[in-house]
Amino acid sequence: MDDKNIFRLDAKVAAVIGGGSGIGEAVAAGAAGLGAAVSVLDANHEAATRVAALIGGTAAALDIRDAAAVKSALEGIAREHGRLDIVICTPGVNVRKPILQYEPAEFDRVVELNLKGSFNVLQAAGRIMTAQRDGSIVMFSSIRSQVVEPGQSVYAMTKAGIVQLVRAGAAEFGRFGVRVNAVGPGVVETPLTAPIKANADWYAAYSNKSALGRWARADEMVGPTLFLASDAASYVTGTILFADGGWTAVDGRFTPPGM
C-alpha cells in the first residue's frame, strides 16, 4: 500500500445514493475531488443532475425503496465502467412523534425507506462486489442507534437496524474481499434537520449536548465516510464510525462545580 495515497480514490468507481443534497452532496463532491468517477443517484433527479454537473459525474433518479430499480441502477454503473468499487447510501427519513400517537402509515414510511431501502442497496451492491471480489459499502446510521429521546422511536429502531445490517453484510461478504461499514452522524445541518434549526431553543440544546458545543456541517461527514470507502480502511469492516462531536461520549447535561 502506498502510504502517501491511501486516502485517494483514483480509478475507483463510486455510486453516491442521496447525492443530490445534504451529506450525500458533500460526499459526492469529496469523492470526485479524491479522483473517483462518481455517479450521483437521488430520488430528486434534478438535484442529482445539478450535483453531477458541478463535480463532473453522472446522474440518475433512484428510489431505494424499489429493489428492482436499485439493482438496475447499480448494475448499469458497473456495466458502464467495468466495475463498481464504492457504494455510499445516505438517504433517511424521520417522523418525530410519541409512540402512542404513531400512525401505521408513518411507521411504514420510515421503515420502508430507512430499513428496506438500505437493505435493497446492500443486497444489490453486495451481488456486484462479491462477484468482482472487491468493494466497499458505506451505509448511514446515526447516534440514534445508541441513544434516544422522546419522539424518536421508529427512527432510532431503523438506525439501530442498519448497524446490524452492516454487521451481517460484513460477515457474509468478507470472504469475497468486500467491506461493509456505517457512519453514525450526530446532529448535522441538512434539509432533514432544518425544522430543528428553526427552533432556537432546540438548536441550542443540541449544540450544547455535543462535546464540541456545536452542530456539524455536512462537509464534516466527508472525511469519515471516504475513509471507510478508501484503502486507508482496508482492514475495517462491520463497524460504525461515529462522527458526532462527542455526543455519545458525554454523559449528562450538568457540569459539576469547579470543572
The pTM (predicted TM-score) of the whole model is: 0.94
Q: How many alpha carbons lie under 13 Å from residue 239 in its C-beta half-sphere?
A: 13
Share of the chain above pLDDT 70, in %: 97
Q: Name every residue whose Cβ is closer than 8 Å to that of residue 234 and which is 6 or more positions away in sequence.
A: 1, 179
CA distance 236 to 169: 13
- pLDDT digit string, tens, across residues 76-118: 999 999 999 999 999 999 999 999 999 999 999 999 999 999 9
Q: Report the DSSP beta bridge partners of residue 124.
A: none
* pLDDT tens for each residue of 22-81: 999 999 999 999 999 999 999 999 999 999 999 999 999 999 999 999 999 999 999 999
Cα three-residue angle 235-239-242, rounded to 5 degrees: 115
DSSP letters for 134-165:
-EEEEEE--GGGT---TT-HHHHHHHHHHHHH
Q: Is the pLDDT of residue 137 over 70?
A: yes
Please name each of the domains of the chain with its CATH number: 3-244 (3.40.50.720)
pLDDT at 228 over 80: yes
**What residues are labeled active site?**
155
- The mean pLDDT value for 205-209 works out to 89
**What local confidence, expressed as pLDDT, does residue 196 receive?**
84
Q: What is the mean pLDDT of residues 210-235?
A: 96
